[in-house]
């Protein structure tokens, strides 16, 4: 690893020394105070977690630190190794060893892993890129970080095209890319939100290894179990205000939650009793085929969803959950066969528009690519799937657009300076709320939510869970696909468990447990 090898376990690391100070940071946007006199200190060779609700100011703080918001656009001071610093660009921050990995990945899909990792600082000879050295250094770095194992076939090749990799593998490449530079302070913004459990374990091991070499990390995550596992110190920010910093040894998850939301949150899930009724949505003998083959991606799935229940969908990554529901709703282009019924009527769905017309709305897990148009306003996004509702004779009615968007911004508590600001300016959690508002305006009979709270803080999660229960009580069939076991167990009335493209089992919440769900997901029957 260039220049980082000098910092190793043979040196004594003074973990009480401060490598970074941010003093009295205040940042405002039109109509919004994003940060107000926030102070932050990072100790050498430690992992410092920053926690807070969506919109609390976490991302703004790291954008100040990483040079995205240049010196002069905010008040306050940044001090690195006891020296005040001026950052007019991301490059300025990187030159003093501060590298940020944002929640939204910044990779070039058409380039190889190696080309992405060393983009802008490729090994060269007299101005000509040394491709053999480029690929070799990439492979060496992937092994040193533990992404690839020395005694096993590589999981990621230097020659792999980024666009062909899973989102989880792309995240690991982004981290390796950051560490190919002279990194002293690594900032990670929700780094495991798109990773499988095994990929997340690799990432946490990488961070531990960096800590042992004296590299400091700022870790932003809503996954409090990860925070408690990896952090040395925890800072909480609420509504742009600094709330406090504590050593991880002196704080519990419940303390973090209370500091984040400003109140004690005794229950993470609303206590609601549903009264299950008739079958409203049914899938019979559904198959999805791999492109260009007769091999099944989804094999003969059948299930029912009843009025008055939250139907949870669980399973390991790659089990086929998303593929099934995106196919049902006309999104997945793969060849498919099977029957879809709503209120006893056989439907013919060939496109997402057909699904919406029939009262079925699928809210994608990838809100930024498929759920929202980031350069459009909050108002335009909320009404985008319901243009007939806000138009007359084919002409948009601005008054109706404003009325509907105001209604849902208030109903779902979307934090925005105005409904006319671009969705790209909102925090991840508020973007998700806009996507949910967009789905609700279509008046769905069946609402399928794929990873509805990924990357969202506990307070916002509770609000979304409350909305889900309200919809169920109004008669909407709600299906929730989630990788979070705690969410599936806390939200569902009944759970479908997918396993390798098949329905591994179905279980009522009264009989459900993490062990039983994992048995179904892995195809485990008995030790015999």
Reference 247, options 404, 2, 15; nearest CA is 15
243 and 196 part of one domain: yes
> CB of 62 within 8 A of CB of 34?
no
Per-residue pLDDT tens over the stretch 380-434: 999 999 998 889 888 999 999 999 999 989 888 888 888 999 998 887 778 888 9
Burial class (CB in 10 A: 0-12, 13-18, 19+), 103: middle
285, part of any domain: yes
CA torsion 208-212-216-218 (nearest 10°) is: 10
204 and 228 part of one domain: yes
303 and 423 part of one domain: no
402 and 488 part of one domain: no
CA torsion 313-315-316-320 (nearest 10°) is: -70
**Is pLDDT above 70 for 254?**
yes
pTM of the model: 0.63
Cα separation, 459 vs 267, in Å, equals: 11
24 in helix, strand or coil?
strand
Which of 443, 459, 475 is the last residue in one of the domains?
443
**Is pLDDT above 90 for 346?**
yes
**Is pLDDT above 60 for 440?**
yes
Q: What is the mean pLDDT of the chain?
A: 87
Quote the pLDDT of residue 437: 92
Structural domain range at position 46: 4-109+183-261
Torsion angles phi and psi, residue 42, rounded to 5: -120, 125
130, part of any domain: no
Residue 339 DSSP label: E
291 and 397 part of one domain: no
Looking only at Cα atoms, what is the longest distance across the chain? Answer: 75
391, part of any domain: yes
427 and 454 part of one domain: no
- Highest mean pLDDT of the ranges 113-117, 169-173, 174-178, 367-371: 113-117
121, part of any domain: no
Among positive and negative, which fits the CA dihedral 508, 513, 516, 517? positive
Structure tokens at 202: 């690799």
196 and 300 part of one domain: no
Quote the pLDDT of residue 377: 94
Which of 231, 261, 291 is the last residue in one of the domains?
261
Cα separation, 90 vs 71, in Å, equals: 11
Which of 417, 443, 469 is the last residue in one of the domains?
443
288 in helix, strand or coil?
strand
Reference 185, options 293, 67, 298, 284; nearest CA is 67
Structure tokens at 308: 């008055």
309 and 329 part of one domain: yes
Per-residue pLDDT tens over the stretch 219-237: 998 788 889 999 999 999 9
Domain with residue 238: its CATH number is 3.40.50.300
Structure tokens at 416: 């925005």
84, part of any domain: yes
12, part of any domain: yes
440 in helix, strand or coil?
helix
**Is pLDDT above 90 for 350?**
yes
Cβ neighbors of 381 (< 8 A, separation 6 or more) are 372, 373, 423, 434, 435, 438
* Distance between first and last Cα of the chain: 48
Instruction: Report in angstroms the alpha-carbon separations of 387 from 222, 371, 400, 443, 475.
Output: 35, 16, 10, 13, 24
What strand order describes the sheet that includes 477-481? Answer: 360-363, 446-450, 477-481, 310-315, 494-499, 502-508
Cα separation, 36 vs 82, in Å, equals: 23
Q: Indicate left, alpha or beta for 427 from its phi (over 0: left) and psi (-120 to 50: alpha).
A: beta
177, part of any domain: no
**Is pLDDT above 50 for 526?**
no
> CB of 158 within 8 A of CB of 145?
no
Give the bridge partners for 446, in sequence order: 360, 477
Quote the pLDDT of residue 527: 43
Mean pLDDT of 58-70: 92
Within 10 angstroms of residue 410's Cβ, the number of other Cβ atoms is: 9
What strand order describes the sheet that includes 279-289? Answer: 296-306, 279-289, 336-342, 345-347
199 and 325 part of one domain: no
Instruction: Write down the residue that tokens 């984040």 correspond to.
Output: 260
Instruction: Report in angstroms the alpha-carbon separations of 351 from 383, 386, 435, 500.
Output: 19, 16, 19, 25
**Is pLDDT above 60 for 1?**
no
456 and 425 part of one domain: no
Cα separation, 401 vs 377, in Å, equals: 12
417, part of any domain: yes
Report which of residues 10 and 465 the model is more confident about.
465
Cα separation, 145 vs 207, in Å, equals: 9
Mean pLDDT of 58-76: 93
Can you give 454-495 as a three-state secondary structure string?
A: CCCCHHHHHHHHHHHHHHHHCCCEEEEECCCHHHHHHHCCEE
414 and 511 part of one domain: no
Among positive and negative, which fits the CA dihedral 145, 151, 155, 160? positive
Mean pLDDT of 8-20: 79
386 and 496 part of one domain: no
Structure tokens at 390: 């806000």
Per-residue pLDDT tens over the stretch 17-39: 999 999 999 999 876 788 999 99
Quote the pLDDT of residue 462: 84
For 136-204, the DSSP string reads HHHHHHHHHTTSS-TTS--SS-TTSBGGGS-HHHHHHHHHHHHHTS--SEEEEESTTTT--HHHHHHHH
Number of domains in the chain: 3
Which H/E stretch holds residue 258? helix 253-261
| Helix 428-440, helix 458-473: angle, nearest 10 | 10
């Amino acid at each position: 690893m260039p220049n980082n090898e000098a910092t190793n376990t043979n040196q004594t690391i003074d973990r009480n020394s401060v490598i970074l100070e941010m003093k009295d940071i205040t940042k405002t946007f039109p109509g919004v105070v994003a940060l107000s006199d926030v102070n932050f200190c990072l100790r050498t060779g430690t992992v410092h977690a920053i926690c807070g609700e969506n919109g609390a100011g976490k991302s703004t703080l790291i954008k100040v630190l990483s040079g995205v918001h240049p010196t002069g656009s905010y008040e306050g001071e940044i001090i690195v190794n006891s020296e005040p610093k001026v950052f007019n660009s991301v490059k300025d921050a990187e030159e003093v060893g501060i590298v940020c990995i944002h929640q939204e990945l910044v990779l070039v899909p058409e380039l190889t892993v190696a080309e992405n990792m060393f983009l802008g600082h490729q090994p060269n000879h007299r101005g000509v890129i040394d491709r053999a050295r480029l690929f070799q250094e990439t492979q060496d770095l992937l092994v040193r970080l533990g992404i690839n194992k020395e005694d096993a076939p590589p999981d990621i090749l230097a020659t792999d095209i980024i666009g062909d990799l899973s989102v989880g593998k792309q995240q690991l490449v982004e981290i390796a890319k950051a560490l190919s530079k002279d990194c002293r302070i690594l900032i990670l913004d929700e780094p495991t939100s798109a990773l499988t459990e095994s990929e997340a374990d690799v990432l946490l091991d990488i961070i531990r290894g960096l800590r042992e070499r004296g590299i400091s990390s700022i870790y932003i995550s809503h996954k409090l179990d990860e925070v408690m596992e990896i952090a040395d110190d925890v800072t909480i920010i609420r509504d742009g205000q600094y709330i406090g910093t504590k050593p991880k040894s002196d704080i519990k998850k419940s303390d973090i939650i209370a500091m984040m939301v400003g109140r004690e949150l005794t229950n993470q899930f609303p206590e609601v009793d549903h009264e299950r009724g008739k079958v409203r949505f049914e899938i019979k003998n559904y198959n999805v085929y791999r492109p260009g083959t007769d091999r099944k991606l989804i094999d003969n799935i059948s299930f029912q969803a009843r009025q008055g229940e939250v139907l949870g969908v669980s399973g390991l990554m790659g089990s086929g959950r998303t593929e099934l529901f995106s196919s049902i709703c006309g999104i997945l282009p793969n060849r498919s066969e099977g029957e879809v019924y709503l209120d006893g009527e056989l439907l013919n769905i060939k496109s997402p528009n057909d699904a919406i017309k029939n009262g079925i709305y699928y809210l994608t897990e990838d809100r930024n690519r498929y759920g929202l148009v980031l350069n459009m306003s909050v108002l335009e996004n909320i009404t985008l799937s319901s243009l007939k509702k806000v138009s007359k004779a084919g002409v948009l009615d601005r008054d109706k657009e404003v009325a509907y968007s105001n209604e849902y911004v208030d109903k779902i508590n979307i934090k925005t300076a105005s409904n006319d600001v671009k969705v790209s300016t909102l925090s991840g959690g508020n973007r998700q709320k806009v996507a949910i508002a967009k789905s609700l305006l279509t008046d769905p009979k069946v609402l399928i939510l794929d990873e509805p709270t990924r990357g969202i803080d506990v307070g916002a999660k509770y609000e979304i869970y409350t909305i889900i229960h309200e919809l169920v009580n109004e008669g909407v069939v709600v299906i929730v696909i989630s990788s979070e076991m705690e969410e599936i167990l806390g939200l569902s009335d009944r759970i479908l468990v997918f396993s390798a493209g098949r329905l591994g089992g179905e279980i009522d919440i009264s009989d459900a447990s993490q062990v039983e769900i994992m048995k179904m997901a892995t195809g485990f029957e008995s030790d015999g």
